[in-house]
Structure 1
Amino acid sequence: MIENPGSAPAITLVLVDDHPVVRDGLRGMFTAEPGFEVLGEAANGVDALDVVGRHDPDVVLMDLRMPGGGGVAAIAELTRRGARAKVLVLTTYDTDSDTLPAIEAGATGYLLKDAPREELFAAVRAAADGRSVLSPAVASRLMTRVRTPAAPADSALSAREREVLVLVAKGTTNREIAVELFISEATVKTHLTHIFAKLGTKDRAAAVAVGYDRGILG
């Protein structure tokens, strides 16, 4: 993050989209909003790897379908390289079949381009803090893509695990969950491990998506 004299550090971004007009619009939005700094842009996933490598941003706003290198492959490669940046997918497609692969590849979250600007700003801030970002509106659209078999009776979430998952869906950190439920962070991590195993997921964002699909989250 870039330090601004007399204020909190700015969240640094790289914008990745094959449409110059979209990049210009996003740059204008974030430049006009205090607390953000756009460091660079890329028109495809291949160029994004170079730009992210040079600038080391806090957050990457990544489109998925781009000529010359798609977003999912770029996310997977950034994850493989151990990039510090959190990737927030921003796409037009509300039934994009790349949604879950993007999250599984390492994306922190998934938003649609018609999201209100305040929602986008909040999502970028959450991503910079390491919190998963998957709004109910997006999750409901994912239901046509997420088709996980019904969970066996013995893998149903306990009441406490449901409470934890609800808080995860709100973007709550492990520490905040521990305070909210009067348990230790270690216990929160144990609950998350059980939740991931029961839902057949690997991380918080995917667990939230499956939670909405199965009706665990309303």
Structure 2
Amino acid sequence: MSTVAVCDTQPIAIEGLRSLLESAESLRVVAAENTVMDGIGAVRELRPSILLVDKAFGYQAVSDWLAMLRSSPVPVATIVWGSSFSEVEAMRFIQAGASGVLRKTASLDTVLECLRTVERGNTWMSGDMVRDLDRLPHPAHSPLTARELQVMEAVERGCKNKHIAAELGIQIGTVKIHLKHIFEKTGIRGRYGLALSGLKEKGLLSMSAGQ
């Protein structure tokens, strides 16, 4: 049986999720905390398979926790959930290390789909969080060069232009030129769309049809 820990700012949300999961086979809530520190302690002690953490704790607090979990010897599939997400917010959490992003308004079927997907080691998000879902992935009009592929992979990891330039030993202006060519060749708009496309093309991202 897979174990789930929940860390949320609102106790009523925790109880609601616990009630929802009571009807699910092979999933059991083993911890329910309403502060990040208590949540960290519960994860260290109980080592759940899946962690749901509230977006309302703030991006910095959640991303710091995600960084801590990435360095942990015991993997925990972490889902960030909240009342609403923009495409940019969702992708920022994925790039920070979240296995999934989920709206609190999701149906039970959607919640279970998300939990089971991240437990298998895949990344999950709702398709309606992405404006241009039909464009992902989009075949390149012409092949990307080796350098363009390096830039694209760095974008998938969430690297900024200055970090990409330093990593590849090139100028920031050159990075911008490579990105312009990548966007033209793939037909994808924006670096978040590019990152989503890369994850989906590699089979690392599962999307629901919407909620």
Displacement after TM superposition at 1:18 (Å): 0.6
Q: Which residue in 2 is equivalent to 1:24? A: 15
CA contact (8 A) 1:31 1:37 kept: yes
Displacement after TM superposition at 1:41 (Å): 1.4
What does the per-residue CA deviation read over 1:130-183, in whole Å, with 9 as the maximum and x for residues that have no partner?
1111221122399xxxxxxxx996539xxxxxxxxxxxxxxxxxxxxxxxxxxx
CA contact (8 A) 2:90 2:129 kept: no
CA contact (8 A) 2:156 2:195 kept: no
RCO higher in structure (CA 8 A, sep ≥6): 2
Divergent runs of 4+, >4 A? 151-154, 194-197, 206-209
Paired-residue identity, %: 18
Unaligned 5+ residue runs, structure 2?
Answer: 134-139, 159-191, 199-206
Correspondent of 2:30 among 34, 39, 54: 39
Whether 2:144 is the aligned partner of 1:155: answer yes
Displacement after TM superposition at 1:196 (Å): 7.7
Whether 2:119 is the aligned partner of 1:133: answer no
Instruction: Using structure 2 for the length normalisation, give the TM-score.
Output: 0.62
Unaligned 5+ residue runs, structure 1?
Answer: 1-9, 143-150, 157-193
Structure 1 residues 45 and 82: CA distance shift in structure 2, 3 A: farther
Q: Which residue in 1 is equivalent to 2:4? A: 13
Aligned equivalents of 2:149 and 2:99: distance in 1? 18
Aligned equivalents of 1:196 and 1:65: distance in 2? 34
Q: Which residue in 2 is equivalent to 1:64? A: 55
Structure 1 residues 31 and 129: CA distance shift in structure 2, 3 A: same
Structure 1 residues 117 and 46: CA distance shift in structure 2, 3 A: same
Q: How many residues were matched structurally?
A: 157
CA contact (8 A) 1:45 1:73 kept: no
Structure 1 residues 119 and 21: CA distance shift in structure 2, 3 A: same
Q: Which residue in 1 is equivalent to 2:177? A: none
Whether 2:193 is the aligned partner of 1:202: answer no
Which residues in structure 2 correspond to 1:108-119 (within 5 Å)?
A: 108-119=99-110
Superposition RMSD in Å: 3.4
Give the secondary-structure state (helix, strand or coil) at the position aligned to 1:111: strand
Q: Which letter does structure 2 place at the counterpart of 1:210?
A: L
